[in-house]
């Protein structure tokens, strides 16, 4: 007979808070993964092995818990609590999600991402130029933070001058995932209002002047007579701005923090830029910016002879599943020449919510890393790398003081 998940004898994870060191947290999760595919945490169950993470993410009875984020955190700000919540593609599920995804997916094809590669290289070169002769910089503020913004502006067809607004609102809105809603509520609301006003203005403009860009494609997105409503369009554009900026910039910073400890791999990438696709997959496997996501059971779900009662929350933990040695041999070794194993790293998720911007993010990182490796040889940290709190939904470096050989 199936066992109820609450009765299972499984590892209990220690309490993690914003101050818990990331290595302590990761070690606890990896220790649990050594003996069990599932562990009990404070808010739900962490799913730790590769096959099980995929199985949960592909099982449509589990819905995205993104919409529950507000309920899962203590928030006393009345204005915040009273605000109507919108469903975005990330928090939608069932038929609503299928419809949205079908309408917008064609606009995110790999070809439109590839078209932007020369532009991406120009952006990256223009960021490296001012520091190239200096031979040192704080990498996060000089390179990571600005990099994705002109690219998202170009993709959407938004004027370049607006990059500062994009950059700020993306970071502030993503504070909802940082586990401190009470402190951040005012900033989040302000950013949501600013973005809303901006996106409506942009859509109005593009309706009267269609161009060759993502926004025009989204406005035209139509399938069998169906169309995005203005509200859906606004929410979709916001999802692209938010999902497409902080993720990529943090992933780039994590990549550099890893390469700084593996100088031979950095030199290898500089001399063999065609290793870029493998290097990106390896960096995302080894140190991904999104380490876990959340799902809740929409009905009683039986899996592996275990019953997960309706409402149970689980966290498919991609950051640990990416170290599953039944899929990735010798997982603790960082190796950009690693042969593809036919099963992808999981930092873009899996199943119906699989990252819509994966082609774009891959292109951005595949362009950036070999260029950086060539123009910043002998890169090393000159001080302590500082990271975001371990509870950050999108994890990344806050400060990476680096030096490198100048003049390239």
**Which residues are near ligand HEM by CB under 6 A?**
64, 89-90, 101, 239-240, 243-244, 247-248, 251, 289-290, 293, 347-349, 353, 355-357, 360-361
Distances (CA, A) of 213 to 152, 162, 209, 216, 222: 11, 16, 11, 5, 16
| Distance, CA of 99 to CA of 93 (rounded, Å) | 10
Closest separation in Å from C-beta 248 to ligand HEM? 5
Closest by alpha carbon to 366, among 281, 260, 271, 268?
Answer: 281
Closest separation in Å from C-beta 370 to ligand HEM? 16
| Distance, CA of 170 to CA of 240 (rounded, Å) | 10
Closest separation in Å from C-beta 35 to ligand HEM? 26
Cα 234 off chain centre by: 20
Q: How far apart are the first and last CA of the chain?
A: 66
- Residue closer to ligand HEM by CB (options 32, 156) is 156
Closest separation in Å from C-beta 403 to ligand HEM? 26
Closest by alpha carbon to 301, among 53, 74, 63, 131?
Answer: 63
- Residue closer to ligand HEM by CB (options 32, 236) is 236
- Residue closer to ligand HEM by CB (options 153, 307) is 153
CB-based contact 196:238 (threshold 8 Å): yes
Two tokens, residue 55: 């199985």
- Residue closer to ligand HEM by CB (options 357, 370) is 357
| Distance, CA of 23 to CA of 257 (rounded, Å) | 14
Annotate 142-199 with DSSP letters as a single string: IIITTTHHHHHHHHHT--GGGHHHHHHHHHHHGGGGTT-HHHHHHHHHHHHHHHHHHH
Closest residue (Cβ) to ligand HEM? 357
What backbone torsions phi and psi does residue 73 show, to the nearest 5 degrees?
-120, 150
Closest separation in Å from C-beta 1 to ligand HEM? 32
Closest separation in Å from C-beta 82 to ligand HEM? 26
Closest separation in Å from C-beta 305 to ligand HEM? 25
* Burial grade of 95 (CB within 10 A; 0-12, 13-18, 19 or more): exposed
Closest separation in Å from C-beta 89 to ligand HEM? 5
- Residue closer to ligand HEM by CB (options 53, 307) is 53
Q: What is the largest CA-CA distance in the chain?
A: 68
- Residue closer to ligand HEM by CB (options 154, 196) is 154
Two tokens, residue 4: 């109820």
Closest separation in Å from C-beta 250 to ligand HEM? 8
| Distance, CA of 398 to CA of 387 (rounded, Å) | 5
- Residue closer to ligand HEM by CB (options 54, 289) is 289
- Residue closer to ligand HEM by CB (options 96, 197) is 96
- Residue closer to ligand HEM by CB (options 11, 392) is 392
């Amino acid at each position: 007979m199936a066992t109820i998940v609450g009765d299972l004898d499984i590892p209990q994870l220690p309490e993690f808070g914003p101050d818990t060191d990331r290595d302590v947290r990761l070690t606890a999760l990896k220790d649990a993964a050594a003996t069990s595919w599932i562990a009990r945490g404070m808010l739900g169950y962490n799913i730790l092995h590769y096959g099980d993470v995929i199985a949960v993410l592909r099982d449509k009875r589990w819905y995205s818990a993104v919409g529950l984020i507000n309920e899962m955190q203590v928030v006393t700000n009345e204005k915040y609590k009273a605000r109507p919540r919108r469903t975005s593609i990330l928090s939608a599920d069932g038929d609503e999600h299928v419809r949205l995804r079908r309408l917008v997916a064609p606009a995110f094809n790999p070809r439109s991402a590839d078209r932007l590669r020369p532009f991406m290289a120009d952006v990256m070169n223009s960021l490296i130029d001012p520091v190239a002769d200096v031979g040192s910089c704080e990498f996060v503020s000089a390179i990571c933070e600005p990099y994705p913004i002109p690219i998202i502006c170009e993709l959407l067809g938004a004027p370049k001058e607006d990059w500062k607004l994009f950059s700020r609102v993306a970071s502030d809105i993503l504070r909802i995932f940082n586990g401190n809603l009470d402190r951040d509520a005012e900033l989040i609301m302000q950013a949501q209002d600013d973005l809303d006003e901006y996106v409506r203005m942009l859509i109005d403009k593009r309706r009267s002047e269609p161009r060759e860009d993502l926004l025009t494609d989204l406005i035209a997105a139509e399938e069998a007579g169906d169309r995005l409503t203005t509200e859906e369009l606004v929410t979709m554009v916001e999802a692209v701005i938010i999902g497409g900026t902080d993720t990529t910039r943090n992933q780039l910073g994590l990549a550099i923090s890893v390469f700084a400890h593996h100088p031979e791999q950095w030199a290898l990438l500089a001399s063999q830029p065609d290793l870029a696709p493998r290097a990106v997959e390896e960096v995302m496997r080894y140190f991904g910016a999104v380490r876990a996501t959340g799902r809740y059971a929409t009905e009683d779900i039986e899996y592996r002879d275990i019953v997960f009662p309706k409402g149970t929350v689980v966290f498919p933990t991609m950051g640990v599943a990416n170290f599953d040695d039944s899929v990735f041999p010798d997982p603790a070794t960082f190796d950009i020449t690693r042969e593809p194993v036919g099963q992808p790293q999981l930092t873009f998720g899996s199943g119906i919510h699989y990252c819509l911007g994966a082609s774009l993010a891959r292109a951005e990182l595949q362009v950036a890393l070999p260029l950086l490796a060539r123009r910043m040889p002998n890169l090393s940290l000159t001080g302590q790398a500082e990271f975001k709190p371990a509870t950050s939904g999108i994890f990344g470096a806050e400060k990476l003081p680096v030096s490198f050989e100048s003049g390239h």
